[in-house]
Structure 1
Amino acid sequence: MTKAIEADRAQPRPTPGSGTRGAAVRVDAVDIRFGSFHAVREISLDIAAGEFLCLLGPSGCGKSTLLSALAGFVTPYQGALTVDGMPVTGPDPERGMVFQSHEALFDWLTVRQNVAFGPRMRGTSRAEQEELADEYLRLVGLRHCADRYPAQLSGGMRQRVQIARVLANQPRLVLMDEPFGALDAQTRQVLQEEMSRIWQASGCTVVFVTHDIDEAILLADRVAVMTAGPAASVKSVYPVDLPRPRDESHPAAVELRRRLRQDIGEEVRKALQDQGLDPEEER
């Protein structure tokens, strides 16, 4: 960690949230279809306020589709999505989305201006915009980069700016679609550790899509494994009963990794068989 980042975090700052301010989420028998294509089938999940839930599963199983429905970008064919008891009927600043690509940032705005964009669109004062931008840039360790442009930052730093921009809207639910998937292994590991700290500081509820079993174990309170698509559903849900920060060599982590690999392996084999391939014959 650089001295500049350490200095950012050492400065006194307001706590982003008081207690748990995350939202409770209910996914109730949700079906999502696109014409004749049946993406997800009768998915039901209850997510507690302030919980960190990871959605894990093989490619094409509808993880990102379900996340888009929670964001209000996709309307379910049937079933209900509610956040703190209120139906999801479209996008809302209280539900922030962090995408895999940092291209969601505005290249013509500085880092501070990117983070202040949401509060500015809500009509907050310039002083409050700057206060929120500074607060969340400190939280992600990038206060020293406030006057740079996205093109002047590394990929990992741009992802941290994107997280700060979402948090500056002070959402109660943060939806993350493989936000570290395009990063190199070393940067990804650093940001995984940072994400755990940022989540605990913000108090938000997080739903995090990943293909990475180790990432899910490192971050999640619970891991929901989805079946292979199409018409995917939830296969299993596992609590991650490990103290933070997580030790990947802990016997409970090793056992959970084994069970998750087994569940996902079954779904991958099923998907291959549905495509007319027999993975056993390939051996």
Structure 2
Amino acid sequence: MNRSGSPVSVRDVDIRFDDFVAVRQANLDIAGGEFVCLLGPSGCGKSTLLNAIAGFVKPVGGEVTCAGARVTGPDVSRGVVFQSAEALFPWLTVRQNVDFGPRMRGVGKAQRASAVDRYLAMVGLSHSADRFPGQLSGGMRQRAQLARVLANEPSVVLMDEPFGALDAQTRLVMQVELDRIWRETGATIVFVTHDIGEAILLGDRIVTMTAGPSAAIKNVYPCDLPRPRDLTDPASAALFRQLREDIGTEVARTLRAQGLDDGHDGPDARQAAGRPADEDRRTRR
């Protein structure tokens, strides 16, 4: 694969909102062209860290760099795909949405048209180019949003649970398509998810975070399984169990802080981490 993506470095990053410490002392190096998944329970700072890489949030300590340059604000080199498809302009067609960024940057008409056609074809939306977002399914809107980001040819693509609102079957299709598009573009991808299986299917590495507040990077797991991946493969299943235990510890900590757990890794924590309580009982027999 052509590794054309830019490296990203997070160094001793602290993020605070007034008196609330969201992230503390985060350190992470992401290679150019790497696919990294940020995984953790709700409120662990995944999206906040992603926003710092995007330049939407300014750390109060430490720094984020992209291709060796300090991130001080949003930049076209770092494209963001949001969870909500409402990010599309509803009054523009799919083609016009994808064309918007290059047009704002002053790219010539012929070059824009060629790029728009390329990325619409890449995400499988050539046949829907002249439809409006409201005429598309949820999965198709997310494809359109991805094409709009890719049309700016960013070296880093940041994705904040982009498939979270999709039904299970559409989500599986989008995961396969994203893996293909990543291989074709060579961009660096940082992908926020709550879904352990999704992280295993997509990531080169999986980064877990501790429960917030004052969330930190907890562990980094290499995921060098051959692609395309099968979650029923023994190696995938073993990694799934390891990640489930890691995240389950943080879920249990959150529940205890909320007074919803007795201090043990009980059924609520296991289910929140993706492990049915009855499965755990079966393994103990």
The two structures have a TM-score, normalised by structure 1, of: 0.92
Cα displacement (A) at 1:282: 6.5
| Aligned counterparts of 2:266 and 2:90: Cα–Cα separation in 1 | 47
Output the amino acid matched with 1:142.
Answer: L
Q: Mind listing any 5+ residue stretches in structure 1 that lack a counterpart?
A: 1-17
Alignment equivalent of 2:55, drawn from 72, 90, 94: 72
Give the structure 2 partner of residue 128 of structure 1. 111
Give the structure 1 partner of residue 223 of structure 2. 240
**1:1-283 alignment runs, 5 A limit:** 19-279=2-262, 280=264
Aligned-partner SS, 1:229: coil
Output the amino acid matched with 2:112.
Answer: Q
Cα displacement (A) at 1:146: 0.8
| Aligned counterparts of 2:201 and 2:79: Cα–Cα separation in 1 | 22
CA displacement 1:2-39 (0-9 Å, x = unmatched)? xxxxxxxxxxxxxxxx9211000000010000000000
Distance 1:174 1:196, change over 3 A: same
| Aligned counterparts of 1:125 and 1:80: Cα–Cα separation in 2 | 35
Cα displacement (A) at 1:281: 9.2
Residues 96 and 174 in structure 1, CA contact (< 8 A), matched pair in contact too: yes
CA displacement 1:114-154 (0-9 Å, x = unmatched)? 00100000001111111111000000011111111111110
Output the amino acid matched with 1:153.
Answer: L
Identity of aligned residues (%): 64
Q: Mind listing any 5+ residue stretches in structure 2 that lack a counterpart?
A: 268-285
Runs of 4+ in 1 over 4 A off after TM superposition: none
The two structures have a TM-score, normalised by structure 2, of: 0.91
Cα displacement (A) at 1:278: 2.3
Distance 1:269 1:19, change over 3 A: same
Cα displacement (A) at 1:200: 0.5
